[in-house]
Each structure stands twice: as C-alpha cells, then as structure tokens.
Amino acid sequence: MEATRTIVVGVTGGIAAYKSAELVSRLRKEGFAVHVIMTRNACRFVAPLTFRTLSGNPVLCDTFEEDGPWAVQHVGVAEAADLLVIAPATANIIAKMAHGLADDLLSTVVLATAAPVLVVPSMNSTMLVSAVVQENLRTLRQRGVTILEPAEGELACGVSGPGRLPEPADIVARIRELLAPAADLAGKTVLITSGPTQEDIDPVRFITNRSSGKMGFALARQALRRGARVLLVSGPTALPAPAGAEVFWVRSARDMCARTLELLPQSDVVIGAAAVADYRPRHVSRQKVKKGDGELHIELERNPDILAEVARCKGARVTVGFAAETEDVLANARVKMEKKKLDLLVANDVTMEGAGFGVDTNVATILSPDGRAESLPRMSKEQLADEILDRVVALL
C-alpha cells in the first residue's frame, strides 16, 4: 500500500480562503494526511474549527503555540510535509517568501521545509498584475517554487479579471503531479510552436490574432515536468517563459517557420500550438503609411504552413496540430489532419464558452489517425496539455 503522504496547506487572508476548505476536504478524501497552517488574517475569513474538522488535525496558527503535535512546531510541520501548498496566497505572503521574511508560523515553515512548494495566488486583478507582485512571483519561480496561475473571472471585489483561486480539483491535480512527476518523456526533445505571429504592414503596424500563447506554454511546462527537453518557438506574448524551456522568440510566420525547420532535426515530437497568421502583407512599407481620404487596400499573400513543411521531412516524429474552428469542427479537423500528416489533432470550437483564445480552460476533441475522436470535458489548459502528452507518449 502507498504510504500516506502529508500535505501542509497554508491558508492566508484572502476571500478565497473558504475554497481551501474544499481543497482540504478533497485532499483528505484522496487519502492524504493534511495539516493546516492559517495566518492571523486567514482566521478572520474562516474559523480554524472548519479546517480542524476537515483536516482531522489541530490547526496551527501561532509559532509559539503549545498544543500542536510537534515539540518545535515550525520544524516539525516543515519536516512532516511531503508538499506545502499555499492557497490562497495573498500578495503579502508572496512578498514575504520572495524576501525570506519569517514573522509568523507559515512564513517560517516556508523557510524550514525542504518539500516542494506550490503557491496559488488569489487577489484583486490590479494587485496581481502590479509590477512588484509579478516580480516577486518571478523570483519565486526562479527559486523552484511552482506557481499555479490564477484563473480569470468575476472577483469578490466586483471586477472581472485574473486573480480567482483555481478550482480545488485543479489544485489537487497539480499537487498530484508535483508529488509523482512522470518521467515518461525523459531523453525526448519536444519542439513546440506557440502564440500568435505578427505580420508587418509598416514600421508601426502589423496584423496579428488573439492567441495568448497559454496553450503552448502549458504544453511546454507539462513536457518539462515529464522529463523532456523543450524547444519553444514563441510569437510575442506577455506570459513568463516556462523555466527550463529553451525559448526562441520570433515575430512573423516566416521567422517561426525558419526557426522550427532549423530545430526540427533535434526533435522527437513537434506540437504546433501557434496561431500562425495565414497571410502577410505583400509589401511591407519602409515608412509609416500615411492616411489619405479614401480607402486603403492591403494586398495579402500566403504564409508558409509550418506543420505542412514539417510533414515533408517528418521521419519518425510524432506531430500534433491544433484546429481552432468556429463551424464544422470535426469535418474541418479531419481534412487538416490528413493534409499535415498529423498523428494527433486537437480540435476545438473557439466560439464555446471556456474554450480557445485567452482563457485558462479549453474544451477539446482529440482526433487520432484511425478516425477515433475523443471528446474531453472542459478542463484547464495544463490538464489538456497532460492529456495530449499522454497520447504522444503512447505513440512514441
């Protein structure tokens, strides 16, 4: 039987603290031993008794308390942890962690533990995107802390944007991954195209699309976690580059194509997650185009199809494409699959809620060459990335 693993859940003072009750409950149901550490402010949002009942253990709030199970609380709990998850993580705990402060039990345990740490930020969008919070998150990532990206949506403060605590099920899934990293892509090189391309009209204007690069980056993170070397050819995006990936930044479809073909010989798997512009302006004006009184016509010419180019020298590689459609999803996807000689095609209807551009979730159907079409439920892009890689591994 698998030994019981201990998850220490740090709860800080955010409105999403109530969702951590469900997190703790799920962890217990999945067979983990759970100890909860609450900050003083967290206790203002949810009563410690809730967590005590759900975890089945005394809740730890104070460094100098006497009634915890260990002689020296912060060292005992830090050593007992197989993983420390902080959910919700406020801007304050993130800042304290980035700077090594240890002025309460949770921040002290963070310093005292050798276990992997998962931080799940949740706060108002403006706070989240502020330069200092982002800088602190970058620092933590660089030090090997895993950050689970906040979800987007309606926030308690009334605004809508990034900052929501992800669903407890997604947090548990991430915890499981961190505890048991599969190394089934060790020794393999995965080449991923990601993000939009930009096609210049003149020195200040370009044509682009709504791709955020989230799906490609999630694939890169999951492939890294499974032991792969990752070559990521990315169009412009505001996302932080996945730590450990070799990133090649490009702008136009032609640059992306050239880079991909250059890296192709090194790869075992090619995943085309980029939203490549199909057309580019035939003439790029060297000067800024001046406005006149009448209409302006821009003549467009075809861009190369990167996956079709890859197909020409595919060899034994496993290739995966995406098909973002707005109608006749499966029929269009099947044609694409054949034309680009793909082993897997991930089709989605981008008009569906929770699918496609910019959002953190996706609703996809995975097509295999034998004609099978597997419809997956709505899930995070991280989870979908893992589903795709499961099938890639089976094909390798």
**Number of neighbouring beta carbons within 10 Å of residue 147:** 17
Q: Quick one: 154 or 338, whose CB is closer to ligand C5P?
A: 338
Q: How far is the CB of 379 from ligand C5P (least distance, A)?
A: 19
CB 165 within 8 A of CB 19: yes
List the one residue from 152, 305, 387, 390 that touches ligand C5P (CB under 6 A). 305
Q: Does 274 help bind ligand C5P (rule: CB under 6 A)?
A: yes
Q: Please provide the DSSP assignment of 171-199 as one string.
A: HHHHHHHHHS---TTTT-EEEEEESB--E
Binding window for ligand C5P (CB under 6 A); candidates: 9-17, 223-231, 299-307, 350-358: 299-307
Q: Quick one: 85 or 277, whose CB is closer to ligand C5P?
A: 277
Closest C-alpha among 71, 102, 80 to residue 7 = 80
Q: Quick one: 6 or 303, whose CB is closer to ligand C5P?
A: 303
Binding window for ligand C5P (CB under 6 A); candidates: 2-10, 206-214, 273-281, 288-296: 273-281
Q: Does 272 help bind ligand C5P (rule: CB under 6 A)?
A: yes
Give the span between the Cα atoms of 73 and 358, in whole angstroms: 43
Sign of CA dihedral 267, 270, 274, 275: positive
CB 156 within 8 A of CB 173: no
Looking at residue 40, the DSSP 8-state letter turns out to be: T
Give the span between the Cα atoms of 317 and 342, in whole angstroms: 10
Half-sphere exposure of 190 (CA within 13 A, CB side): 32
**What are 33's strand-pairing partners?**
6
Q: Does 303 help bind ligand C5P (rule: CB under 6 A)?
A: yes
CB 323 within 8 A of CB 347: yes
Q: Quick one: 170 or 199, whose CB is closer to ligand C5P?
A: 199
Binding window for ligand C5P (CB under 6 A); candidates: 42-50, 177-185, 271-279, 347-355: 271-279
Q: Please provide the DSSP assignment of 117-154 as one string.
A: EEEEE---HHHHHSHHHHHHHHHHHHTT-EE-PPEEEE
Whether 157 is catalytic is yes
Q: How far is the CB of 314 from ligand C5P (least distance, A)?
A: 13
Q: Quick one: 137 or 231, whose CB is closer to ligand C5P?
A: 231
Looking at residue 60, the DSSP 8-state letter turns out to be: B
Q: How many residues bind ligand C5P (CB under 6 A)?
A: 14
Q: Cis before residue 88, ω within 30 degrees of 0? A: yes
Binding window for ligand C5P (CB under 6 A); candidates: 71-79, 122-130, 156-164, 298-306: 298-306
Q: Does 321 help bind ligand C5P (rule: CB under 6 A)?
A: yes
Q: Which DSSP helix (H) or strand (E) runs through 158?
A: none
List the one residue from 219, 322, 337, 361 that touches ligand C5P (CB under 6 A). 322
**What are 89's strand-pairing partners?**
121
Binding window for ligand C5P (CB under 6 A); candidates: 28-36, 37-45, 217-225, 305-313: 305-313
Q: Which of residues 183-202 bind ligand C5P (CB under 6 A)?
A: 193
Q: How far is the CB of 318 from ligand C5P (least distance, A)?
A: 14
Binding window for ligand C5P (CB under 6 A); candidates: 28-36, 153-161, 234-242, 316-324: 316-324
Closest C-alpha among 293, 365, 306, 308 to residue 339 = 308
Q: Does 366 help bind ligand C5P (rule: CB under 6 A)?
A: no
Q: Per-residue string for binding with ligand C5P, 218-257, x by CB under 6 A?
A: -----------------------------------x----
List the one residue from 148, 185, 306, 384 that touches ligand C5P (CB under 6 A). 306
Q: Quick one: 108 or 193, whose CB is closer to ligand C5P?
A: 193
CB 60 within 8 A of CB 11: no
**Residue listed under structure tokens 């989230």:** 214
Q: How far is the CB of 361 from ligand C5P (least distance, A)?
A: 19
Report the amino acid identity of residue 291: K
Residues found near ligand C5P in the complex (CB under 6 A)? 193, 253, 272, 274, 276, 278, 303, 305-307, 321-323, 336
Catalytically active residues are 157
